[in-house]
Amino acid sequence: MNLRKAPDFPYNFIDHMLFSEDEIKARVAELAAQITYDYRDSEKLLLLGLLRGSVIFITDLMRSINLPLTMDFMSVSSYAGSESTGFIRIDSDHKTNIYGWDVILVDDIADSGYTLYTIKKLLLERKPKSLKLCALLDKEERRKVDVPIDYRGFAIPDYFVVGYGLDIDEKGRNLPYIASVNLERYLANGGSK
């Protein structure tokens, strides 16, 4: 991983760029190629994204998967600010009856792992044909529960990151690259901009 000066963007809490737009694009294409190969015999493939962080990732990913597929979403919350609580609330459930489907659960980042662990357990009770996990980013050293990520974009150190769908208090999702947040500067500004 190569920390660089981030291209100008009017958020003052951005520290360094971790992954550029082009690097993300290339990695997403690799993940999509792997999924295309692995699911070549699947008859019912569902990409199930967790709102809202996975939106940009899943929409890019699905357009590079060269197979028929369906997309659905669940909305879950696990966070107040930037600390995980281990308590996962389902705010809105998926619409598809996933019984018999090959499901890939897609999130922006695996941190403590509670979110993916909890939702995986819930989805397995609904008897999909198969269930795999996909996360663009993985903060391995923060993991509190054992949850293997089958398709992982990038492993990152323990930075708080924003961009490409990821946010801090709902800000920063529209950055086209992924950047670390300078939490001191963010908090000094009262958590704004």
Contacts with ligand IMP by CB under 6 A lie at 53, 78-79, 84, 107-115, 160-162, 166-167
* Cβ(130)–Cβ(102) below 8 Å: yes
* Cβ(113)–Cβ(129) below 8 Å: no
- The helix, strand and coil proportions of the chain, stated in percent and rounded to the nearest 5, come to 25, 35, 40
Q: How long a stretch of residues is the chain?
A: 193
79 contact, one of Mg ion, ligand IMP, none, CB 5-8 Å limit per kind: ligand IMP
Question: Is the Cβ of residue 44 or residue 143 nearer to ligand IMP in the bound state?
Answer: 143
User: Measured from the CB of residue 91, what is the shortest distance to ligand IMP in angstroms?
Assistant: 13
- The one catalytic residue in 15, 107, 111, 138 is 111
Beta-carbon neighbour count of residue 30 at 10 Å?
Answer: 12
175 contact, one of Mg ion, ligand IMP, none, CB 5-8 Å limit per kind: none
111 given a catalytic annotation = yes
Among 31, 46, 47, 53, binds Mg ion (CB under 5 A): 53
d(Cα 62, Cα 113) in Å, to the nearest integer? 23
Question: Is the Cβ of residue 33 or residue 90 nearer to ligand IMP in the bound state?
Answer: 90
* Cβ(72)–Cβ(95) below 8 Å: yes
The residue ranges that bind Mg ion (CB under 5 A) are 53
